[in-house]
Amino acid sequence: MAGLTERKARGAAFDAALRSGLDSSGMRIMGPVGDNATLLLPREGVVLRVTPRVHLGRVRRELAIARWLLAESFPVVRPLVTQPLTVDGHVVTVWEAIPDPVIASPADLGALLRRLHELCPSEDLELPALDPFRGVEGYLNAAVGLSLDELRQLRHLHGRLRTAFQHLVFELPSGPVHGDAHRKNAIRGSDGRVVLLDLERFSTGPREWDLIVAAVYVRLGWYSPADYTDFVRAYGTDVREWVGFETLAAIRELRMTAWLCARTGREPHLLPEARKRIASLLTPSAPRHWTPGT
């Protein structure tokens, strides 16, 4: 997590706004602080994204990916600077703010992913290979308040799923994937535009990884069956019909749980939810009653 906190993120964003001549009045943080922090400058209509400097290479790649997608007329959030600003051990990028954003519909998300998966990246765009486990061990190392036995069982599951992933045979062709296609990463503005956000985990790999999120949502009850039907109709494939579905769904659920565990140090109120998720991961047949938005 590289020690990113809300206080550090606000300080870096304030300094970046000052250096860029942007009005930071009314600046507010958007969403939880994790590997990154996102802050809105309402008077400017821009968003600042703060990331620890150790990830400078990844941030530069995000900007390159955004430029490529825009050149392909793909609806993605627009960067307003070509290079990140370096501020006190952090890098800050500047993006357009989508007016009055709301989470896009499942059908919108399915349509965006279908368009994305039809693209061929330019030859000079170097995309990393998808690693669905990237960051999981770091998340578990950052967990606070969990028992040694809980962490041991999560690490055991982590190792078992890594082995299982290596034996999956995917049906869809490999290519560019968003890498973290959850519902909050597709938004609709008051101007009617639907855009894709957060290119941090953009990579190349099996397209099933982007589709598994919606399928996990419906079994968690975060999407209704009708929502999921709309998603599948818009995309054209139901990943639940693939033989590797259960394995990939378990990997996604492990990621979701590990990410939540990493936040328990600064948000101890999340411990009960983390423990609830861990218990359900260890009993795959048990119903999931996870709380969305955490």
Q: Name which of 200, 203, 198 is nearest 109 in CA terms.
A: 198
Segment holding 251, helix H or strand E: helix 245-262
**pTM score, two decimals?**
0.93
Whether residue 132 contacts residue 251, with contact meaning beta carbons closer than 8 Å, is answered with: yes
Q: What is the pLDDT along the chain (294 residues), one digit of tens a residue?
A: 347 899 999 999 999 999 999 999 999 999 888 889 999 999 999 999 999 999 999 999 999 999 999 999 999 999 999 999 999 899 999 999 999 999 999 999 999 999 999 999 888 898 999 999 999 999 999 999 999 999 999 999 999 999 999 999 999 999 999 999 999 999 999 999 999 999 999 999 999 999 999 999 999 999 999 999 999 999 999 999 999 999 999 999 999 999 999 999 989 999 999 999 999 999 888 888 899 876
Give the whole-angstrom CA distance, residue 46 versus residue 98: 8
Q: Name which of 75, 82, 40 is nearest 59 in CA terms.
A: 82
Q: Where are the beta strands (DSSP E) in the chain?
A: 28-30, 37-41, 46-52, 85-87, 90-96, 102-103, 174-177, 186-188, 194-196, 203-206
Give the whole-angstrom CA distance, residue 6 versus residue 70: 31
Specify the 3-state DSSP secondary structure of 197: coil
* Angle at the Cα of 148 from the Cα atoms of 147 and 151, rounded to 5 degrees: 90
Domains and CATH numbers, the chain: 6-97 (3.30.200.20), 106-281 (3.90.1200.10)
Size of the chain in residues = 294
Give the whole-angstrom CA distance, residue 169 versus residue 60: 32
